[in-house]
Amino acid sequence: MNVIADLHLHSRFSRACSNQLTIPNLEKFARLKGVTLLGTGDFQHPKWLPELKEQLTDNGKGVLLSKSGYPFVLQTEISLIYSQDGKGRRVHNVILAPSFDVADQIVEYLGSKGRLDYDGRPIFKVSCAELVENLKEISDAIEIIPAHAWTPWFSVFGSMSGFDSLQAAFLDQTKHIHAIETGLSADPGMNWRLSKLDHITLISSSDAHSHWPWRIGREATVFDMNELGYHELIKAVRENKVIETLEFYPEEGKYHFDGHRACGTCLSPSESLALKKTCPKCRSPVTVGVASRVEALADREAGIKPANARPFRNLIPLSESIGHVLGVPVASKKVWEQYMKLVQAFGNEIAVLSAPFEQLCKHVDERLAKVISKTGSVQWKPGYDGEYGVPLFEGIVHKERKPVVKKPVQRGIGNYL
């Protein structure tokens, strides 16, 4: 069976997340999206975990079912901030757990390292290697996956606080790392440029901070599973039983190119290198993005595909495409009308995004059908330093967005997707 899984999202108890993140809303919009398995997010939070226990029931195989039968798997994201080799490190990891009993043991362990109540994505002064070793002592069924592995501020390969290899980060515990999450600003093709990742399963998840369909399932992994069970899922992760991944265009991710948001400076890797990674307007260092970081660590030319590589598709969320064509906000009534019309016709959003141009034309005008099916050319104003990229569809005039400038001390904090 094919399972479309989004294994990284958050609850309303995480900072900068919607207060409408509830189990019913997650289920409702996952069904609209076409995602068939969700992570719970934040299972260690003392207010969220009791809700999960009340509303979800184990199917006997480690997958938790809502009252109407929608499946979830226990999942959280942990932030590690520590020093190693004379450098400050900030790495986020996704954790999957097989049962509430194991989740309770993880909560007890994390509680011994720091507070759990202030944020759904808590911070601990623990190294990656120590975290993995301690969790594996609880249960070998626990899976640890480096989150959004390339983003600058909080990731295993991040330019600001990461490492140059998984081995440098996880040391002797690297043997327990079977997968990485590529993140919104990179796709599998970029990861294929590193031969040392050939044995690693590449998964994609949304890291959604709200339940809306332009967030939930914006990235997902399609697994080949014999049954809907936790151990079957972990087997699929560890043995790379991935049919395909559904991806953002990397250019749309917030940290694809280098840049300085305060000055509106966006630089390709070659432009940034020529400027010594310095903003030409204010002469301050730029935030080094994912494309540059991949370029720095790559030992292959672009376009080389490893033998065990799995297919992927780059998709633009349906609501975004409709909003761009109509020239209205993504959450507007006009967008919802077109969105629901298409979802009702095809069953869910992923089915809409997979439909051919001719079929789409039966339900919407040719201009929108062309954009959804990507039969026309799409260029990009790439994302950089916390700004999402913008697709530039052929024949559509786009309004210029002014960069959102935050205080320098906050750059990257809670804004790392």
242 and 322 in a common domain: no
Residues paired with 3 in a beta bridge: 223
Cα dihedral: 206, 210, 214, 219 (round 10):
10
Please, which pLDDT band fits residue 394 given cuts at 50, 70 and 90?
confident
Does 70 reside within a domain?
Answer: yes
Q: What are the pLDDT digits (tens) for 273-308?
A: 999 999 999 999 999 999 999 999 999 999 999 999
85 and 12 in a common domain: yes
Does 295 reside within a domain?
Answer: no
322 and 242 in a common domain: no
14 and 156 in a common domain: yes
Residues paired with 123 in a beta bridge: 79
219 and 361 in a common domain: no
248 and 114 in a common domain: yes
Q: How many CA atoms lie within 13 A of 406 on its CB side?
A: 10
46 and 150 in a common domain: yes
Q: What are the pLDDT digits (tens) for 151-181?
A: 999 999 999 999 999 999 999 999 999 999 9
Of the chain, the percentage scoring pLDDT greater than 70 comes to 94
What pLDDT score does 403 carry?
43
Residues 383-393: b if buried by 16+ CB within 10 A, e if exposed: bbbbbbbbbeb
Does 41 reside within a domain?
Answer: yes
Does 269 reside within a domain?
Answer: no
Domain that holds residue 161: 2-252
Q: What are the pLDDT digits (tens) for 344-389?
A: 999 999 999 999 999 999 999 999 999 999 866 678 999 999 999 9
Distance CA 215, CA 8 (A): 11
Distance CA 406, CA 16 (A): 14
Q: What are the pLDDT digits (tens) for 74-113?
A: 999 999 999 999 999 999 999 999 999 999 999 999 999 9
Whether pLDDT at 329 is above 90:
yes
Cα Rg of the chain, angstroms: 21
Distance CA 191, CA 170 (A): 19
Q: Is the dihedral of CA 359, 361, 363, 367 positive or negative?
A: positive
Count the domains in the chain: 2
Q: At which of 213, 228, 252 does a domain end? A: 252
190 and 51 in a common domain: yes
The three-class DSSP label of residue 318 is helix
The three-class DSSP label of residue 177 is coil
Does 149 reside within a domain?
Answer: yes
> What's the pTM?
0.93
Distance CA 270, CA 275 (A): 9
Does 257 reside within a domain?
Answer: no
Does 102 reside within a domain?
Answer: yes
Q: What CATH number is given to the structural domain containing 110? A: 3.20.20.140
228 and 337 in a common domain: no
Distance CA 405, CA 386 (A): 9
What pLDDT score does 63 carry?
98
Identify which of 8, 340, 33, 355 has the alpha carbon closest to the alpha carbon of residue 213: 33
56 and 143 in a common domain: yes
Q: Supply angle C-alpha 385, 298, 263, rounded to 5.
A: 15
Instruction: Judge contact between 158 and 152, C-beta under 8 A.
Output: yes
Does 203 reside within a domain?
Answer: yes
Q: What are the pLDDT digits (tens) for 239-273?
A: 999 999 999 999 999 999 999 999 999 999 999 99
339 and 234 in a common domain: no
